[in-house]
Amino acid sequence: MSIKLIIFDLEDVLIKSWHGIIKYLDIDETDFKTIDHSDLRIDLQLGKISEDTFFEEFIRITHTKYSVEELKSFVRQVLTPIDKMFDLVKSLKNRYKLAILSNFTKEWADYVIKKYELNNLFDATFWSFERGIKKPWHEAYLQVLDYFKISPQECVIIDDKIRNTEAAAKIGFNTITFENYDQLKQELNNLGVSTKPNIVLIGGGTGLPNLIKGLKNYDVNITAIVAVTDNGRHSGVLRREYNIPPPGDIRNSLVALSDADETLKKAFDYRFLDGHLEGTNLGNLLILSFTKLFGSFEKAIEHAGKILNIRGKVLPVTNANVDICAEYENGEIIEGEVSIRENRAFKSRIKRVFLKPNNVKALPEVIEEIEKADMIVLGPGRLYTSVITNLLVDGVVDAIRKSRAKKVYVCNTMTEPNVTDNFKVSNFVEAIENYLGKGVLNYVVVNTAYPDNEIVENYKEKFNISIVELDKQNLNNLQVIEGDFLNNEIKFKWNELSFLNHDPQKTADALMKILKM
């Protein structure tokens, strides 16, 4: 049975113990331990006496020179987080229910709840002083089960005291006796609890694999959800002739996630530049052959991922053979991704985009990955044909809205000719919110570094594209993460215009900072 609820002790698991005050005191350690295990301490834990009364008795018994107020101050100085434990809690929050079950003092609990915002991290807290019951009494554990309406086999209790974990185990709980962060992570993994943050990337084109390359350097679970409306070049040919979703963007993400030999990765990316096979991509052919061999496009991607030894998952947003269409403000409608990108017939802004057919459903695994994400990242990539196209698939928007994950949009560095001419950051955000809904996005990552004027003017003159300007005054509901995210290399791909791209590592670093906020 899978774990649904993780129950933490507080003292000596998340927060350092009040025992740390001994370093400030002028009393014998034996006397201190005697008080810590006395009925006086139990009365404090059960809320029968106040912190002031406890320390008045403490002074009477130990003859310490310190006052009640000084002793209370010492306690608050030592109630500090245990290294990396709150980061672990944050990484678990969106995938599991979390609770605290603690024999803690009311005044100390009030202090740490406020200082470390525990109510924002945990779904429920159970204190001995509130209910008059404490661990290892069975009633303490049973109250948690009753609150969450859950079985003990679906829970794991983390406590530093063996008597508490043994008592919980007798009722049927999974238990971990806490020693340190690394030991805890390992034992949680042994129970099938994923301790790595889940990052879901939604997009397509070259923006998605570019982001993957940076995030791969972190200890995270990456899932790439990839657009399937590309109808150009070799992918378009395979779509039309074999009635499969386009493999090109899928292949790019597989290679980006790959830990395989460089030769194998280059083979998957190899495109013939001349002869009868000119324009043919070898990796696309392999994915097509796997589709025929294993019976479905999803299984083909799975087997390609095994061959490439990928670290993460790559999922097509849907397995339907579908096209994106654009309706313009002048009433014209254009069908097909390439036609939208290359439209030069008229100057008019896109009014809306839609899919044909329009009732395609997301893969169930796509919805599952979004639901358990800690962070969902849209972009970078072509606004309509790489990013928004995913939001048009049934189930995707609802899943994103319901998710407790942080939602981030990585805004493009440059405009797209005849598609996003003169767009500022707020225009990109507004376009996405037209489909996702307002108030869903939490952050927008914006490049504010500009290349040499010569490069900028060259792009304007030759390609009619420009740097996307930040208009922060129009982004009141979003937290703007701005900085130098520019990749200083300018590359041109085979028969294709290239933009100034994001630097994979700079962008990944910014996303990881957001994850920890």
Residue 227 CA to its chain's centroid (Å): 19
Non-local (6+) Cβ contacts of 37 within 8 A are none
Q: At what angle do helices 504-516 and 85-92 cross, to 10 degrees?
A: 90
Strand partners, 200: 223, 376
Superfamily designation of domain 198-516: CofD-like domains (3.40.50.10680)
- Indicate the residue type of 9: D
Which pLDDT score, from 0 to 100, does residue 67 have? Answer: 96
Q: Please state the pTM of the whole predicted model.
A: 0.81
Alpha-carbon distances of 362 from 300, 389, 397, 409, 498, rounded to whole Å: 17, 12, 10, 20, 30
Give the whole-angstrom CA distance, residue 387 versus residue 365.
Answer: 19
The predicted-structure confidence for 227-275, as pLDDT tens digits, reads as follows: 999 887 777 778 888 888 898 899 999 999 999 989 998 988 888 888 8
| Structure tokens, 200 | 């879901």
Q: Is 445 within 8 Å of 428 (Cβ atoms)?
A: no
Report pLDDT digits (tens) over 32-82.
989 999 999 999 999 999 999 999 999 999 999 999 999 999 999 999 999
Give the separation between CA 331 and CA 344, rounded to whole angstroms.
15
User: Closest by alpha carbon to 517, among 46, 120, 97, 16?
Assistant: 120
pLDDT for residue 31 is more than 60: yes
Tokens encoding 59: 């002074």
Strand, coil or helix: 42? helix
Torsion of CA 347, 349, 351, 357, to 10 degrees: 60
Hey, what CATH class is 5-14+81-190 in? alpha beta
Q: pLDDT by residue (tens digit) across 98-137?
A: 999 999 999 999 999 999 999 999 999 999 999 899 999 9
The strands making up 124-127's β-sheet, listed across from edge to edge, are 124-127, 97-102, 5-8, 155-159, 174-177
Residue-averaged pLDDT of the chain: 91
| pLDDT exceeds 60 at position 496 | no
How do residues 276-325 score in pLDDT, each as one tens digit? 777 788 988 999 999 999 999 999 999 999 999 999 999 999 999 899 99
Query: Which residue bears the tokens 């209790």?
Result: 157
